[in-house]
Amino acid sequence: MPRSAVMASAGDQPETSRISPWLAPVAMALTQDITLPLWFRGIRVEGFERLPRQGPLLLAPTHKSRWDALLLPHAAGRRTTGRDCRFMVTIDEMEGLQGWFLQRLGCFAVNQLRPSLSSLRHAFELLEAGEQLVVFPEGRIRRHCDEPMRLQQGLARLAALALSRGVSVPVVPVGLAYGHPWPRPCDRAAVCFGEPMQIEAEGRDAARTLTRQLAAALHQQEQRATQLSAPGALLLQSREAGEQSP
């Protein structure tokens, strides 16, 4: 699943993305109370205390699976932080019946190759209103940890745009991992939140710098999430608990 305007596939005409007051609770119950517990043996969340509880926020997760869109609301959504996750997604994901549902769950679309002014404006308006946005900086699923991590510039440019308009937005790197590259039933999953980052100035150079720093932070958080979701994660956690005991 973790895009005022959604860029339509034809004509670049904006629509209003919103969170349905009846569909969102139903979707939350189906995913958080049924789907995730049935599929995963355990979900470990680390660094939760690093999440700001109010004000604009950009969550920048690694992208390992379609399950990511369910894990992020589980770790940082309405039930845990009191905030909804507003996902920026690709145009293809907003087509058909799936798009109808996603739009009513607060998602909005962006053309990753040629972002429109309307989609960027909508993203900025959400940040200006103090919303929590989820933007996958890789732009696509990367299933193998040995595959190089390549980040797109869109997230950093959005942070720079917000700064140029007087809105300073923390960027939180999020590492996601599963017991297997293709999550299996009874797998373990992990979500690790890193320290919030800030873009230091406006312009392309500052956006490139933030992108480089974000890539390093994501690599670190993904490695930690991989440890926590590995088959031997229970042994690792018990050792850590023993080390922390007085």
179-204: pLDDT as tens digits = 998 999 999 999 999 999 999 898 88
Quick check: is 58 in a domain? yes
Quick check: is 222 in a domain? yes
Angstrom CA distances, 213 to 104, 171, 172, 173, 205, stand at: 34, 11, 11, 10, 12
Give the HSE-up count for residue 24: Cα atoms under 13 Å, Cβ half-sphere.
18
What does the alpha-carbon distance between residue 171 and residue 137 come to, in Å, rounded to a whole number? 11
Task: Say what the pLDDT of residue 14 is.
Answer: 43
User: What average pLDDT does range 60-86 have in this prediction?
Assistant: 96
The bridge status of strand 132-134 relative to strand 85-90 is parallel
Among candidate residues 70, 58, 61, the one with its CA nearest the CA of residue 32: 70
Identify the domain containing residue 98 by its residue range: 23-244
What does the alpha-carbon distance between residue 194 and residue 45 come to, in Å, rounded to a whole number? 11
Quick check: is 9 in a domain? no
Quick check: is 3 in a domain? no
pLDDT band at residue 77 using 50, 70 and 90 as cut-offs: very high
Beta partners for residue 44, in sequence order: 190
Quick check: is 188 in a domain? yes
Helix axes 204-229, 233-244, angle to 10 degrees: 100
Quick check: is 171 in a domain? yes
- Cβ-in-10-Å burial (0-12, 13-18, 19+) of 92 comes to exposed
pLDDT in tens, 110-154: 876 666 677 788 899 999 999 999 999 998 898 776 788 999 888
User: What average pLDDT does range 40-44 have in this prediction?
Assistant: 95
pLDDT band at residue 234 using 50, 70 and 90 as cut-offs: low
pLDDT band at residue 240 using 50, 70 and 90 as cut-offs: low
- Which CATH number do you get for residue 48? 3.40.1130.10
User: H-helix or E-strand containing 25?
Assistant: helix 23-28
Token pair for 226:
């991989």
What does the alpha-carbon distance between residue 224 and residue 193 come to, in Å, rounded to a whole number? 10
Task: Say what the pLDDT of residue 94 is.
Answer: 86
Q: Quote the mean pLDDT of the chain.
A: 86
By residue count, the chain amounts to 246
Count of the separate structural domains present in the chain: 1
User: H-helix or E-strand containing 37?
Assistant: helix 36-39
Which among 10-14, 139-143, 170-174, 179-183 has the top mean pLDDT?
A: 170-174
What Rg do the C-alpha atoms of the chain give, in angstroms?
18
What does the alpha-carbon distance between residue 180 and residue 188 come to, in Å, rounded to a whole number? 9
What does the alpha-carbon distance between residue 63 and residue 185 come to, in Å, rounded to a whole number? 19
Quick check: is 5 in a domain? no
Does the structure show a pLDDT above 60 at 236? no
pLDDT in tens, 85-106: 999 988 888 888 988 999 999 9
Quick check: is 15 in a domain? no
Does the structure show a pLDDT above 80 at 241? no
